[in-house]
Amino acid sequence: MSEHETHHDHHDENKLITQRRDKLAKLREQGNAFPNDVVREHKAADLHKEYGEHDKEWFEEHAIPVTVAGRMMLQRVMGKASFATISDVSGRIQLYTQKNVLGDEVFDDYCHWDLGDIIWASGMLFKTKTGELSVKVHDIRLLTKSLRPLPEKFHGLTDHEQRYRQRYIDLIMNHDTRDAFVMRSKIVSYIRNFFLQRDYLEVETPMLQVIPGGAVARPFITHHNALDLPMYMRIAPELFLKRLVVGGFERVFEINRNFRNEGLSTRHNPEFTMIEFYQAYATYHDLMDLTESLMRGIATDVVGSHEITYQGETFDFDKPFARMSVRSSILHFNPELSAEQIDTLEGAREVARKLGIPLKDGYGLGKVQIEIFEKTVEHRLLQPTFITEYPAEVSPLARRNDANPFITDRFEFFVGGREIGNGFSELNDAEDQAERFMQQVADKDAGDDEAMHFDADYIRALEYGMPPTAGEGIGIDRLVMLFTDAPSIRDVILFPHMRPE
Q: Does 83 bind RNA (CB under 7 A)?
A: yes
Q: Phi and psi for 410 in degrees, rounded to 5?
A: -135, 155
Q: Is 374 in the site for RNA (CB under 7 A)?
A: no
CB of 187 to RNA, least distance (A): 21
Strand stretches in 49-195, DSSP E: 65-78, 81-87, 92-98, 118-127, 133-144
Residue 13, marked binder: no
Task: By CB under 7 A, name the one of 64, 106, 115, 434 that touches RNA.
Answer: 115
Q: Measured from the CB atom, is 122 or 134 closer to RNA?
A: 134
**263 lines the binding site for RNA (CB under 7 A):** yes
Q: At 321, which amino acid appears?
A: F
Q: Which helix (H) or strand (E) holds 469?
A: strand 469-475
**In terms of DSSP H, where are the helices of 355-475?**
365-376, 430-445, 456-464
How near is the Cβ of 219 to RNA at its closest, in Å? 19
**Residue 380 binding RNA, by CB under 7 A:** no
Q: Does 339 participate in binding RNA (rule CB under 7 A)?
A: no
Span interacting with RNA, options 28-36, 108-116, 271-279, 362-370, rule CB under 7 A:
108-116
Contact 97, 81 (CB under 8 A): yes
Residue 130: how many CB atoms within 10 A of its CB? 7
Q: How far is the CB of 110 from RNA (least distance, A)?
A: 12
Asked if 91 is part of the footprint of RNA (rule: CB under 7 A), the reply reads: no
SS3 334: coil
Q: How far apart are CA 428 and CA 409, in angstroms?
A: 12
Of 122-141, binders to RNA (CB under 7 A) are 126, 128-132, 134, 136
- Identify the residue among 28, 139, 158, 309 touching RNA (CB under 7 A): 158
Binding of RNA at residue 304 (CB under 7 A)?
no
412 assigned to a ligand binding site: yes
DSSP assignment of 352-371, as one string? HHHTT----TT--HHHHHHH
Task: Return the residue of 58, 144, 149, 328 that touches RNA, per CB under 7 A.
Answer: 149
Question: Do residues 461 and 471 touch, judged by C-beta distance below 8 A?
Answer: no
Give how far the C-alpha of residue 25 lies from the chain's centroid of Cα atoms, to the nearest Å. Answer: 41
Decide the pairing of beta strands 65-78 and 81-87: antiparallel
**Of the residues 28, 35, 41, 162, which one makes contact with RNA according to CB under 7 A:** 162
Residues that bind RNA (CB under 7 A): 14-16, 19, 74-81, 83, 85, 94, 96, 98-100, 112, 114-115, 126, 128-132, 134, 136, 148-149, 151-162, 164, 263, 265-266, 487-488, 490, 498-501
Binding residues for Mg(2+): 412, 419
